Structure 1
Amino acid sequence: MAADVRSWWARRSLRLRLTAAAALVMAAGLAGAAFLLVAWLHASLINGLDQTVLQRAQVVAADEDSNRITAEVPATSHAEAAVQIVDSRGKVLASSANLRGRPRAFTFPASRSGTPRVHTVHDIPEHDYGTWRAVGIPAGTSHDPVTVYVALPTESVDRGLAQLTVALATGVPAVVALLTGMVWLFTGRALRPVDAMRAQTAEISASDLSRRLDVPPAKDALGRLATTFNDLLGRLDAATRRQRRFIADAAHELRSPLSTLHTRLEVADHHPESVHWPTLAPELLRETERLNHLVDDLLQLARLDARPRLRVRPVDLDEIVFTEVREARSRTRLVIDQHAVGAARLTGDEDALSRVVRNLLDNALRHAATRIDISLRMVHDTARLVVADDGPGIPEADRERVFGRFTRLDDARARDTGGSGLGLAIVRDLVTAHHGTIHVEDNRPGTRMVVLLPTRAP
């Protein structure tokens, strides 16, 4: 049952829930304040009545001490006051007019402390008042002691408090209802920008992420929310544009080897007598190898975009460099100098770091004129890997752009022999996944790719 109530409540609108919560808080606060007011006023009025009763008793006791008391105690400004003077044997010696001829009405003993105690008594005979505040104080002499009792009814206090309670019981709900209506209106006005943002968000489609939400002029939570939404839309727009550009570039890159394969196979199919297979087969194999490398790079980028978890463990980066250099030497006649490679142990994914070194060597092999130099050393807690070639180099204005996907600098890197334009993009993503950095420096001549990797992942 409780779960159903919570589920029903959770489905209500935010405006309704805020208004209901505010109404409950206001009702509880005003009811508590009303209760405290009534309690405080009751205590204050009773205390005043007690002071009056005590003063009247002291006056009567003073008259008794001066032997001015008669059988009937003189009336005071409090005509409803009930007064009796009782001797030590319990005999009524004198009383007020409203208790004339009545038996003893008060049975509690006289208070002999410095601050006499006031008692609450009920149903004094022959009186309609229900509750009285009464005090008894000693008087007379030591040989003839008496007790003076004085009581006043609490009817006036009770009547005033009853009227106040009725007024509060009527007024508090009315005030709560009025304030609840105001909260409903103000909450609706405060949430109006949220509804406007919701409507604007609903109009934004995946095909048009360039639209932005209107930011309220106030620098409050709603303004910050709208700004955050706009930042999110900006990132989504940029990511969508990159994805579309990546798909278009990938399709373009895949079309070239596929078209070449299709054309040559089609010619071979239609004119088999003119095909020289010893020449055609290696060309087709090169195209399929190029296609295979491209698909492999696309899959690698797709995995990186999906933010996979790296298989992190201690890795000897120098051993990875030696392994990749041996493999690269089997594919080229260029000089690859690895004498500057020192020991470097760090925490990372061995396969990913092998891919980083392999791609950097492949990039250097495509552009080097005569040699490639590799160095690796530790700088404090960072491994510094440098792959340098003596090729045409990269203009300073393009040194950041080369890490983009499908980027080729045809003029500066004219010796490109079929790279997909994805190798350095994969390197940057893998280095970034290891919380490292990569940048380009001038080698005079050629290019230096500098990778900085922390020995321990954050």
Structure 2
Amino acid sequence: MKTGIATWWARRSLRLRLTAAAALVTAAGLAGAAVLLVNWLQTSLISSLDQTAVQRAQVIAAAVETGKLTTTLPASAEGDTAIQVVDSTGTVRASSTNLEGEPRLFTFTATTSGDPQARTVRGLPLGDDGTWRTVAIPAGRSPDPVTVYVAVSTATVDRSMTQLTAALATTVPIVVALLTAVAWLLTGRALRPVDTLRAQASAITACDLSRRLDVPPAHDELGRLASTLNDLLGRLDAATRQQRQFIADAAHELRSPLSSLLTQLEVAVRHPESAHWHTLAPDLVEESERLARLVDDLVQLARLDARPRLRHQPVDLDEIVFAAVRRARQQSHLAIDEHAVTAARVNGDADALSRVVRNLLDNATRYATSRIDVRLGVIGGAAYLVIADDGPGIPEPDRQRVFDRFTRLDDARARDAGGSGLGLAIVRDIVTAHHGSAHVEDNAPGARIVVRLPSTAADHP
């Protein structure tokens, strides 16, 4: 049952829920204030009656002390005061005119120390069954002490409290209703920009992410929300454009080896008598390998874009570098110097870091003239991997752009040497995922690519 009510309430509009909450808080606050007001006022009026009774009793006690007490004492014109003076035997010595001839009506004893304490008494023979606030004060001297009882009716206070309670019971709901209506209007006005933002956001489609939401002029929560949503739309727009460009570039890159393979195969099929498969096979294998490398790079980038959970465990980066150098030597006639490789341990994914080193060596092998230098060391808590070649180098304006996908430079490094234009992009994405960085420096001649990765403290000697 509670779950059903909670579900029903959660489906209501935000405006209704805010207004209802405001109404409940207002009603509780006003009701609590009304109760406190009634209690405070009643206590104050009763205290005033008690003071009146005490003062009247003190006056009569003074008359007893001076011997000026008469048997009949005047009562108030409204008849809301009753007085009896009783001796130690219980005999009424004097009383007010409205209690004349009545026996003793008050039986509690007077306190001899401290201020007199008033008590509530009912059932006095004065025509109604109301309550009276009564005080008792001792008077006279031994051997003839007396007790002065003065009672003041609470009828006036009771009538005032009844009228006040009725007025509050009528006024509080009206005030709550008016404040609820005001809260409904103000909430609707406050949420109007939210509805505007919602309508604008619903009109934005995946085909047109260049549109933005109108930011309210006030620098409040709604303004910050609109700005944040615009930033989100900007990032989505940039990501979508990047994805579309990536798809277009990938299609363009795939078209070249596929077209070459298809052309050679079609010629061989149409003219089998002139086809020399022993001469075509190396070209077909080369194009197939190029296509395989491109597909592998595309798959790797797709996985990185999906932000997979890379393994984070201690990895000996120097062992990865030595293994990659051995592989590069088997595939190239270039001189590769790894004597400057020292021990370095990082926390990361061994397979991904192996891909980084292989891509850097493949890139250096592709453009080097005769030599590749590999260095690895730990400096200031970071592992630095440096792979330098003696090729044409990379112009300074392009040293950041080479890490973009499908980058083609205008210098000698733009020559097609079998690369896909994705190797350094994969390096940057993997290094970034390991909280590192990569940049290009001048090797004079050639280029030097520096990779920085956070090192662990357990570097082995």
Corresponding position of 1:453: 453
Corresponding position of 2:151: 151
Counterparts of 2:332 and 2:171 in 1: how far apart (Å)? 96
Residues 395 and 412, structure 1, Cα contact 8 Å, conserved in 2: no
Counterparts of 2:104 and 2:286 in 1: how far apart (Å)? 128
Q: 1:95 to 1:266 in 2, by over 3 A?
A: same
SS at match of 1:133: strand
Aligned AA for 2:371? R
Residues 376 and 385, structure 1, Cα contact 8 Å, conserved in 2: yes
Report how far residue 50 of structure 1 moved.
0.3
Corresponding position of 1:436: 436
Cα RMSD after superposing both structures: 1.3
SS at match of 2:413: coil
Residues 367 and 415, structure 1, Cα contact 8 Å, conserved in 2: no
Gaps of 5+ in 2: none
In the alignment, structure 1 residue 52 sits paired with structure 2 residue 52? yes
Gaps of 5+ in 1: none
Report how far residue 347 of structure 1 moved.
1.4
Alpha-carbon displacement from aligned partner over 1:53-82 (angstroms, at most 9, x marks no partner): 000111111122222222211234664210
Alpha-carbon displacement from aligned partner over 1:245-278 (angstroms, at most 9, x marks no partner): 0000011111111111111111111111111111
Counterparts of 1:43 and 1:301 in 2: how far apart (Å)? 80
Q: Which moved more, 1:152-161 or 1:328-337?
A: 328-337
Residues 116 and 135, structure 1, Cα contact 8 Å, conserved in 2: yes
Aligned AA for 1:66? T
Aligned AA for 1:325? V
Counterparts of 1:230 and 1:201 in 2: how far apart (Å)? 10
Counterparts of 1:107 and 1:283 in 2: how far apart (Å)? 127
Alpha-carbon displacement from aligned partner over 1:62-110 (angstroms, at most 9, x marks no partner): 1222222222112346642101111111111111111111111111112
Counterparts of 1:414 and 1:106 in 2: how far apart (Å)? 117
Corresponding position of 2:39: 39
Alignment of 1:41-440 (within 5 A): 41-76=41-76, 79-440=79-440
Alpha-carbon displacement from aligned partner over 1:229-252 (angstroms, at most 9, x marks no partner): 011000000000000000000111
Alpha-carbon displacement from aligned partner over 1:398-419 (angstroms, at most 9, x marks no partner): 1111001111214241443121
Q: 1:414 to 1:179 in 2, by over 3 A?
A: closer
Please give the TM-score of this superposition, normalised by the length of structure 2: 0.97
Report how far residue 127 of structure 1 moved.
2.9
Alpha-carbon displacement from aligned partner over 1:276-315 (angstroms, at most 9, x marks no partner): 1111111111111100000000000011011111122211
Residues 338 and 374, structure 1, Cα contact 8 Å, conserved in 2: yes
* Count of aligned pairs between the two proteins: 457
Residues 394 and 413, structure 1, Cα contact 8 Å, conserved in 2: yes
Counterparts of 1:126 and 1:341 in 2: how far apart (Å)? 114
Report how far residue 452 of structure 1 moved.
0.4
Alpha-carbon displacement from aligned partner over 1:335-378 (angstroms, at most 9, x marks no partner): 11111111111211111111101000111111111111111111
Corresponding position of 1:22: 22
SS at match of 2:331: coil
Aligned AA for 2:228? T
After TM superposition, which residue ranges in structure 1, 4 or more long, deviate above 3 angstroms?
A: 75-79
Report how far residue 140 of structure 1 moved.
1.9
SS at match of 2:72: coil
Residues 376 and 386, structure 2, Cα contact 8 Å, conserved in 1: yes
Aligned AA for 2:211? R
SS at match of 1:330: helix
Counterparts of 2:416 and 2:438 in 1: how far apart (Å)? 21
Q: Which moved more, 1:208-217 or 1:60-69?
A: 60-69
Residues 359 and 424, structure 2, Cα contact 8 Å, conserved in 1: yes
Aligned AA for 1:102? E
Residues 75 and 82, structure 2, Cα contact 8 Å, conserved in 1: no
Q: 1:177 to 1:38 in 2, by over 3 A?
A: same
Counterparts of 2:274 and 2:163 in 1: how far apart (Å)? 118
Aligned AA for 1:267? V
Counterparts of 1:77 and 1:362 in 2: how far apart (Å)? 117
Aligned AA for 2:55? Q
SS at match of 1:31: helix
SS at match of 1:374: strand
Q: What percent of counterpart residues are identical? A: 69
SS at match of 2:441: strand
Q: Which moved more, 1:2-11 or 1:121-130?
A: 121-130
Aligned AA for 1:328? A
Counterparts of 1:335 and 1:450 in 2: how far apart (Å)? 19
Corresponding position of 1:9: 9
Aligned AA for 1:420? S
Residues 410 and 416, structure 1, Cα contact 8 Å, conserved in 2: no
Q: Which moved more, 1:310-319 or 1:25-34?
A: 310-319
Counterparts of 1:444 and 1:71 in 2: how far apart (Å)? 130
SS at match of 2:448: strand
Aligned AA for 1:269? V
Counterparts of 2:414 and 2:334 in 1: how far apart (Å)? 17
Counterparts of 2:20 and 2:208 in 1: how far apart (Å)? 39
